[in-house]
Amino acid sequence: MRGTTVYIRVNNAGSLIKRILTVIFILLSVPAFTQLPLLRETVWLQSSRNIYIPGEEIKVSASVFENDTYTPSVLSNNLRLELINNSGEIIFQNNYELSKSQITIGIKLPYNLATGWYHLRAYTNWMRNFPESDFAWMPIKVAQPGDLDREEYRFLNDSIKIILTENGFSNSVLDTNECIIYTSDINGRPLSSEGFILSSPVDTVAWILTDATGWGISKYNKTTQESYKPFVKGHVPSKTLLVVKEAENDKPLIRISEDSSFVYIHVDRLQLTGMYKLLVHRIYNWYWYRESHIVSGNMEFEVPKSSLPGGIVQFSLLDNNNDLLAKRLWSD
């Protein structure tokens, strides 16, 4: 009996090995198998604010999407979050289980953190198959209460960037003597601001008055750009950067109108026919509108107001490669 038992096990093992070798041979004989593109993920990371005192809790929301479709990803069940200082040292890290590709958690800051900028980094195990540039990063400023009145900390990394876009659109909602102003910090996060741009002590080029979205509109007295000097309340001139952009008449333009039931997204100056997508989003409320037919370079989307989230909404027009062509903010 013992000999018979040994013979059967060996025979089964040999059969299993033969099957495995057969499968490997088949896979290796199909060149396309090794050429299949790997799906990629992206993380949308959000917190209620970006400045904290040591010991406070950071409320973090994160969603994991497929990189090309922005649909919730089913590739990963866990998300890793890390808090990193400016020297690249990891202060905190932990893994969290995702629920329907989303998670909302609180991260307790250590009481001994020094005043300065830190970064939250988020990624999945699957994302580690790709460059770290795919990881999500979010800047966090930590301030010890005793440092808030010290000049070297008050303006540390507190630069402000102003982008002034001249108006040259013949069919724009703006007057020809108006400009669009966008203000942000050095990391691109929008800032509300108040100030002005001078060309001489008595000549004002434009007023700077932006809300929490960073956007604003101003009268524009165009003159020699080399003479422009920006001044923003709460920011020293040496850390105030001004960028002047000419109107881009060759790029698509979004115009918005509305009635009691719909918001109408008019897109002008589309250069090529094909598939275009309208992304409607506010934090994690988003959905697609699709349209493939355009007439004379124009397109229109009808978005029901009943389906829009409250507050400020961004409409983003993307082509079939998910390249951003135009965007516009709207609020109810």
pLDDT tens digits for range 221-277: 888 888 899 998 878 787 888 999 876 666 787 888 888 888 888 887 776 667 788
Contact (Cβ atoms closer than 8 angstroms) between residue 91 and residue 118: yes
CA end-to-end distance (rounded Å), the chain: 83
* Model pLDDT, residue 230: 92
- Strands of 57-66's sheet in order across: 41-47, 57-66, 102-108
* Model pLDDT, residue 272: 67
pLDDT (average), residues 82-110 = 88
Taking residue 209's Cβ as centre, other Cβ atoms within 10 Å add up to: 15
> Which of these, 218, 142, 143, lies nearest to 178 by C-alpha position?
218
From CA 317, how far away is CA 234, in angstroms rounded?
A: 35
From CA 329, how far away is CA 316, in angstroms rounded?
A: 9
Average pLDDT, the chain: 75
* Model pLDDT, residue 269: 74
* Model pLDDT, residue 162: 92
- Max CA-CA distance within the chain? 108
Q: Inform me whether the pLDDT recorded for 9 exceeds 50.
A: no
> Which of these, 101, 82, 107, 78, lies nearest to 92 by C-alpha position?
82
From CA 214, how far away is CA 191, in angstroms rounded?
A: 5
* Model pLDDT, residue 330: 80
* Model pLDDT, residue 123: 93
* Model pLDDT, residue 17: 61
Task: Provide, rounded to the nearest whole percent, the portion of the chain with pLDDT above 70.
Answer: 73
Per DSSP, the three-state class of 124 is coil
pLDDT (average), residues 162-188 = 70
Contact (Cβ atoms closer than 8 angstroms) between residue 19 and residue 27: no
Cβ within 8 Å of residue 57, ≥6 positions away: 106, 107, 108, 109
pLDDT (average), residues 196-209 = 88
The pTM assigned to this predicted structure is 0.42
* Model pLDDT, residue 132: 79
From CA 272, how far away is CA 146, in angstroms rounded?
A: 58
Cα–Cα–Cα angle for 91, 96, 100, rounded to 5 degrees: 145
Residues making up the chain, counted from first to last: 332
- Consecutive H or E run containing 224: none
